């Protein structure tokens, strides 16, 4: 009789599908999702699909002192220790390891004056004779560091442009507009010292657009392009958004893999 009077106690918890934090009330989960601003650019576990705040927290999730055992087991068998990606089997993992490598960080003394050492004079670009009628192409790549309380906000910290001959025509570090909370050094190779005397974002915008416009008027660029250059890249919308720039859609060309 006594057992029939007992009512089951609910231990249901509401879990965030991105970071897996759990809350007793659904309202608390909703409040968390409003302020967390989980980004698709955050590193994600290839096993359980959990988003992590940084590359370091992803490594800790997989191989730290208290890793998730199911993820650790699969990562040990099919994971790359460098980039932390998960592969289908030993063969694909072996092929990947032959190519997977982060470029070593460049010594700081090489970047004492980025604006002078790594920027080609734009006047030399306009001297190129383009008689083919096909617009010249310029590829762009940006490196992002993290801002915000959890380091998940992407801040452009480095910009590089190359021409069709794969020559660097513009390269500089970008001074962040808000404090950097995660330099993502394992991926970017960027440290605080690189950004200390970096070029302001507004000046970077002006130089990049000057290269892209190629002496053409803005109205003609928006209508037909004229002498303006095509902009090529892997994630152009994201790069332009982080640079707080816009460029006509008909002059954008997307690649399937990293350009630089």
Instruction: CATH 3.30.420.10 in the chain: give the residue spans.
Output: 137-254
Q: Is the pLDDT of residue 138 over 90?
A: yes
Angle between the 69-78 and 55-63 helix axes, to the nearest 10 degrees? 100
Per-residue CA distances from 14 to 22, 133, 170, 218 (Å): 5, 59, 49, 51
Number of C-beta neighbours around residue 251 at 10 A:
19
**Which residues 6+ apart lie within 8 Å of 235 measured at CB?**
none
Output 237 or 19, whichever has higher pLDDT: 237
- Residue 253 forms beta bridges with which residues? 232
- pTM of this prediction exceeds 0.75: no
Q: Is the pLDDT of residue 242 over 70?
A: yes
Fold of 137-254: Nucleotidyltransferase; domain 5 (3.30.420)
Q: Is the pLDDT of residue 260 over 50?
A: yes
> For 50-64, 141-155, 172-186, 212-226, which range has the lowest pLDDT when averaged over its residues?
50-64
Most confident of 54-68, 86-100, 130-144, 238-252: 238-252
Mean pLDDT of the residues in the chain: 76
- pLDDT tens for 1-40 read 444 444 444 446 777 766 667 778 877 777 766 666 555 5
Strand, coil or helix: 158: strand
């Amino acid at each position: 009789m006594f057992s029939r009077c007992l009512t089951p106690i609910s231990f249901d918890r509401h879990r965030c599908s991105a970071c897996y934090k759990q809350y007793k009330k659904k309202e608390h989960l909703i409040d968390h999702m409003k302020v967390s601003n989980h980004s698709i650019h955050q590193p994600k576990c290839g096993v359980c699909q959990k988003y992590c705040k940084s590359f370091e927290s992803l490594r800790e999730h997989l191989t730290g002192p208290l890793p998730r055992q199911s993820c650790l087991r699969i990562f040990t068998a099919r994971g790359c220790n460098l980039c932390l990606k998960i592969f289908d089997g030993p063969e694909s993992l072996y092929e990947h390891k032959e190519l997977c490598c982060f470029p070593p960080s460049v010594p700081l003394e090489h970047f004492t004056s980025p604006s002078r050492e790594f920027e080609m004079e734009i006047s030399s670009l306009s001297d190129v004779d383009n008689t083919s009628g096909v617009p010249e192409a310029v590829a762009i790549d940006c490196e992002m560091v993290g801002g915000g309380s959890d380091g998940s906000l992407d801040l452009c910290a480095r910009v590089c442009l190359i021409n069709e001959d794969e020559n660097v025509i513009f390269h500089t570090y970008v001074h962040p507009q808000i404090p950097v909370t995660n330099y993502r050094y394992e991926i970017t190779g960027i440290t605080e010292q690189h950004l200390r005397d970096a070029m302001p974002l507004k000046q970077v915008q002006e130089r990049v657009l000057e290269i892209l416009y190629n002496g053409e008027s803005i109205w003609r660029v928006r209508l037909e392009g004229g002498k303006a250059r095509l902009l090529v890249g892997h994630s152009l919308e994201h790069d332009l958004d982080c640079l707080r720039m816009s460029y006509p859609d008909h002059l954008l060309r997307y690649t399937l893999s990293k350009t630089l």
